[in-house]
Amino acid sequence: MLQQVAILGSTGSIGTQALKIIQQFPDRFSVCALATGSNITLLEEQIRNFKPEIVSVFNEDQAVTLRRRVADLPVKVLTGAKGLVELSAWPGVDVVIVAVVGFSGVMPTLSAIRAGKKVALANKETLVVAGEIVMAEARRHNTVILPIDSEHSAIFQCFHAGGSGELKRVILTASGGPFLGKKREELAAVTPEQALRHPNWRMGPRISIDSATLMNKGFEVIEACRLFALETSQVQVVIHPESIVHSMVEFIDGSIVAQLGLPDMLLPIQYALSYPQRWPNPFPRFDWDRNHTLHFYPAAKGEYPCLDLAYQALQVGGTLPAVLNGADEIAVRSFLEGRITLMQIPALLAEVMSRHEVIQHPSLEDIVEADCWARKETERII
């Protein structure tokens, strides 16, 4: 039986790789729905190739143009935030891959959960800003959330080695980004072009900058705690420049189970789609005949201020993680526009967090308001 797949963010890195996997397994998957922000040129190509029933374009003007371009095809074109929400709950869809960037992933993820869809989640901000609400809804609707992030997919896979009461801690690995080993004075004049050059992964602009500051790893700490119901003290970050060990799980007997693989998102995407099975594929393999050396270094407190801020936001909880995420989106955009330096990002985030009056156990409306406030406050400070 074919699984009907919806991909939110089909023109981005995760979305295009997910479509490659679907092409590898035409007897298992069919594309039912696709969504993009504004890249209608690639979306039109995907529509003609995969024949979805419905698509969504966030930009309304681009949606109008796309409707005209695909008038010869039986495809429905939605638009805006409402379009994403409607598409994620579309009748007949079995699996929703959430690969949109930022806060925009929250509402469609909740929509998919409430509609009883299996969710393959590549949008970490959803669990960062609204993790308690999202996971509570998943339990209420008996919905499976499968992680696509390589680190969380690794944790998920390692968990199979022990029982739920046998876990001691989770060890998240971080490459250290393009500036590993650089001193702070060397980072003062870093350009956006330099920060976008990740040594191991090809990613979008925001996640690339967040990887350079280790903010991305901080968000992954929050995501891991929400997704796997962990305490803050149970998640440790280590620097692993080669990005071969994607994460590890330590059990109460001292055993550590690690998941290894090449730095390639195809495998975690496929595992989220194939779970609980594993399927053969033609993807590149790790070559054990070569002389490999793997390195691990502590992510010392105080050395990576953005990572420290994420731990702080997680410890305080409430609306503070949403504020951190909203402020970071504006800070990263401002750095890419040349308005602030890379080294100003953590100081800016810390200032916004210090000005926020935290609401504990927030409603979704509280989270949306906190996100809006953080963005405006960050812009005001800049």
Instruction: Give the residue from 118, 147, 176 where a domain finishes.
Output: 147
The residues that bridge with 36 in the sheet, in sequence order, are 57
In a shared domain, residues 56 and 139: yes
In a shared domain, residues 70 and 14: yes
Q: According to the model, what pLDDT value does residue 103 have? A: 87
pLDDT value at 181 more than 90: no
- Those residues whose C-beta lies under 8 Å from the C-beta of residue 283, and which sit 6 or more positions away, are 264, 266, 267, 270
pTM of the model: 0.92
In a shared domain, residues 90 and 200: no
In a shared domain, residues 359 and 250: yes
In a shared domain, residues 31 and 133: yes
In a shared domain, residues 88 and 168: no
**pLDDT tens by residue, 222-245:** 999 999 999 999 999 999 999 999
Whose tokens are 């007949």? That residue is 92
pLDDT value at 179 more than 90: no
- Angle made by CA atoms 184, 190, 191, in degrees to the nearest 5: 165
Compute the mean pLDDT over every residue in the chain, rounded to the nearest whole number. 93
* CA dist., res. 31 & res. 3, Å (int): 8
In a shared domain, residues 141 and 166: no
> HSE of 106 in the Cβ direction (CA atoms, 13 Å)?
22
* CA dist., res. 34 & res. 56, Å (int): 7
In a shared domain, residues 140 and 157: no
* CA dist., res. 208 & res. 299, Å (int): 19
In a domain, 118, yes or no: yes
Instruction: Give the residue from 113, 147, 181 where a domain finishes.
Output: 147
Q: According to the model, what pLDDT value does residue 200 have? A: 66
CB atoms within 10 A of CB 110: 22
In a shared domain, residues 121 and 252: no
The number of distinct structural domains making up the chain is: 2
332: domain CATH number? 1.10.1740.10
Q: According to the model, what pLDDT value does residue 208 have? A: 85
> HSE of 102 in the Cβ direction (CA atoms, 13 Å)?
18
* CA dist., res. 329 & res. 100, Å (int): 14
In a domain, 274, yes or no: no
Residues 165-184: b if buried by 16+ CB within 10 A, e if exposed: eebebbbbbbbbbbbeeeee
Query: What is the C-alpha radius of gyration for the chain, rounded to an integer number of angstroms?
Result: 20
Instruction: Give the residue from 117, 147, 177 where a domain finishes.
Output: 147
Q: Which residues form the domain of 26?
A: 3-147
Query: How many residues are present in the chain?
Result: 382
> HSE of 273 in the Cβ direction (CA atoms, 13 Å)?
33
In a domain, 296, yes or no: no
CB atoms within 10 A of CB 92: 11
177 band by pLDDT with thresholds 50, 70 and 90: confident
Q: Is the distance from CB of 156 to CB of 146 less than 8 angstroms?
A: yes
**pLDDT tens by residue, 105-139:** 999 999 999 999 999 999 989 999 999 999 999 99
Using alpha carbons, select from 12, 35, 32 the residue that is nearest to residue 22.
32
Q: According to the model, what pLDDT value does residue 66 have? A: 97
In a shared domain, residues 32 and 99: yes
47: domain CATH number? 3.40.50.720
In a domain, 284, yes or no: no
In a domain, 268, yes or no: no
Task: Name the strand (E) or helix (H) holding 307.
Answer: helix 305-316
Q: Average pLDDT for residues 214-229, to the nearest whole number?
A: 96
**pLDDT tens by residue, 195-209:** 777 766 666 788 888
In a shared domain, residues 56 and 100: yes
The residues that bridge with 382 in the sheet, in sequence order, are none
Using alpha carbons, select from 379, 364, 347, 346 the residue that is nearest to residue 129.
364
Task: Name the strand (E) or helix (H) holding 36.
Answer: strand 29-36
Q: What is the DSSP letter of 57?
A: E
**pLDDT tens by residue, 5-63:** 999 999 999 999 999 999 999 999 999 999 999 999 999 999 999 999 999 999 999 99
Tokens (6 digits) for 298: 């502590």
CB atoms within 10 A of CB 292: 10
